[in-house]
Amino acid sequence: MPPSFDVRLDDLTGARAESREAAQDSDSILAGPPSELGVNKSPTRQNQRYGDDASPTRQSQHHGDGAWSTHPLPGDERTFYIETFGCQMNVHDSEKVAGVLLGRGYQQVETVDAAKLVFYNTCSIREKAAQKVFSRLGEFRKHPDHGKVIGVLGCVAQQEGEEIFERAPWVSLVCGSASYSKLPTLLAQLEAGNRRVTGLDTDTDETFETEMTRRDNPFRAYLTIIEGCDKSCSYCVVPYTRGPERSRSSASVLEEVRKLAGAGYSEIQLLGQTVNSYRDPAPRGKTFAELLVTVAAVPGIRRVRFTTSHPRDFGRDIVEAIDSVPALCDHVHLPVQSGSTRVLRSMQRTYTREEYLDKIALIRSARRPISVTSDIIVGFPGETERDVAETLSLLDAAQYDGVFAFQYSPRPNTASLQMGDSIPEEEKGRRLAIVQDRQREIQVARNNELVGQTFEVLVDGASRRPGQWTGRSSSNRILNFSSPRSDLLGQYIQVRATGASPNSLVGEQII
């Protein structure tokens, strides 16, 4: 029997094929990283709802009517709680927001109850994700005397703008990610008692860099190298909510990597909605592949990951870099979205099925095996049975190591909104299940072939069961393994795979 782990359900690799129920709510099966925006089920801090007995412990200022408070935030009330929805970019943005707040003398707390400032960093990639924040905000209706300052950050903030104040008048701050560089000013306004503060511009060419970022994971550090998106996939809100592409200079990226290495981080994950569209703003700047190689050469850095890659900008130089630099992880997340050229065109993905498969062939031609994962949308307007069959045959051809599959969700401010939503939800669910079933078979076969092999694993979790640990290989596979050793967290060790399931391997430490 493989050990059952209670550790972290976020950040899993692989198709959530086993979760048919969850598949109805695509968000909840897709707790995961290597995704253009893979929705992360566990927020940075666990979901914290008000208990029925929750009562405001401090100030009883009522902001429910949206009134202009005359009460500034006094120093002794500087506590904040932040809950994150959505992708790794959001998780990392929350880390940076937390850094800004800590730098202003705030203290982070684990519950809404204990906090004076409550921030929700939101996701609007699919409707269900966007609804979550309104259900959180709704909780405050029951507690009009909560006395808290509430902020909505991220993609829902950008998308809904000041309408959030109408729907939830107790909200004081609405700020999209492209305006985070203004956060210190916005916070100063809140501290001065202003109860209607907004940061909603997307025309900035700034990236959000902070002096101090509080990172949640002690071993792996996220680092955003490119913000926004210049592609215009017809179904996607990101270009609207996160604004145009802005790359950070390679000099500033490298400076931060050196600091992170000095602080003991050994794994760096470079982030961007289209990370490989990175363009160094410096004259004669580095290409993305050159940046990867330079980051990997920083002393103390043992692993470099990057997500998410766009197929159009994925070239041979990236494969060559991975081939020649062992610290560059042998994993590429390369979302295809559909196996049908007809649907891809309608999605404005800028490549055909054949062109995409050529990229896969490029990756497979590497000297060392590189694992590949993908995102797929089913039920796009006008998708036929034949299109679905093409997606299934693409799964066979690509032989992915993991797939995040989603039901199409029409979003405001997107081109595909005009195309209607022709596939009924039930049928979308059926197609999702078919895709997941096929991918699960592929993963079972692929993972079974790995039994007997040895992987270098970065240990990042301990089970409640003694002697049981979990970690990740360079290829981003989860290995749940046994070891008689203690204090393995953060170490790189050798693990032999002894068994396989669709989404992970089991094994034992080689001593």
Location of structure tokens 């906090």: 115
Rule CB under 6 A: choose which of 112, 229, 293, 435 binds ligand SF4: 229
Under rule CB under 6 A, how many of the chain's residues touch ligand SF4?
10
- Residue 310 in contact with ligand SF4, rule: CB under 6 A: yes
Q: Which does 231 bind (CB under 5 to 8 A by kind): ligand SF4, ligand 5AD, none?
A: ligand SF4
- Residue 238 in contact with ligand SF4, rule: CB under 6 A: yes
Q: How far is the CB of 455 from ligand SF4 (least distance, A)?
A: 30
- Residue 236 in contact with ligand 5AD, rule: CB under 6 A: yes
Strand 171-175's sheet: what is its strand order?
A: 107-108, 79-84, 117-122, 149-153, 171-175, 197-199
Q: Which of 237, 239, 253 is nearest to 288 (CA)?
A: 253
- Residue 239 in contact with ligand SF4, rule: CB under 6 A: yes
Whether cis (ω within 30° of 0) applies to the bond prior to 308 is yes
Angle between helical axes of 316-324 and 353-364 (0-180°, round to 10): 20
Alpha-carbon separation of residue 218 from 2, 206, 215, 268, 458 (angstroms): 27, 28, 7, 11, 12
Q: Which of 353, 304, 306 is nearest to 332 (CA)?
A: 306
- Residue 125 in contact with ligand 5AD, rule: CB under 6 A: yes
Site string for ligand 5AD, 329-348 (x = CB under 6 A): ------x-x-----------
Residue number with CB closer to ligand SF4 (273 or 371): 273
Q: Which of 307, 303, 352 is nearest to 328 (CA)?
A: 303
Distance CA(14)–CA(211), nearest Å, equals: 35
Q: How far is the CB of 238 from ligand SF4 (least distance, A)?
A: 4
Q: Three-state SS for 43?
A: coil
Within positions 265 to 304, which residues make up the interface with ligand SF4, using CB under 6 A? 273-274
Distance CA(209)–CA(212), nearest Å, equals: 9
Distance CA(434)–CA(165), nearest Å, equals: 42
Q: How far is the CB of 36 from ligand 5AD (least distance, A)?
A: 3
- Residue 41 in contact with ligand SF4, rule: CB under 6 A: no
Q: What is the CA radius of gyration of the chain?
A: 23
Residue number with CB closer to ligand SF4 (119 or 235): 235
Alpha-carbon separation of residue 148 from 61, 79, 364 (angstroms): 8, 10, 53
Residue number with CB closer to ligand SF4 (256 or 383): 383
- Residue 235 in contact with ligand 5AD, rule: CB under 6 A: yes
Site string for ligand SF4, 1-40 (x = CB under 6 A): -----------------------------------x----
Which residues are near ligand SF4 by CB under 6 A?
Answer: 36, 229, 231, 233, 236, 238-239, 273-274, 310
Which residues are near ligand 5AD by CB under 6 A?
Answer: 35-38, 125-126, 235-236, 335, 337, 375, 377, 406, 408-409, 411
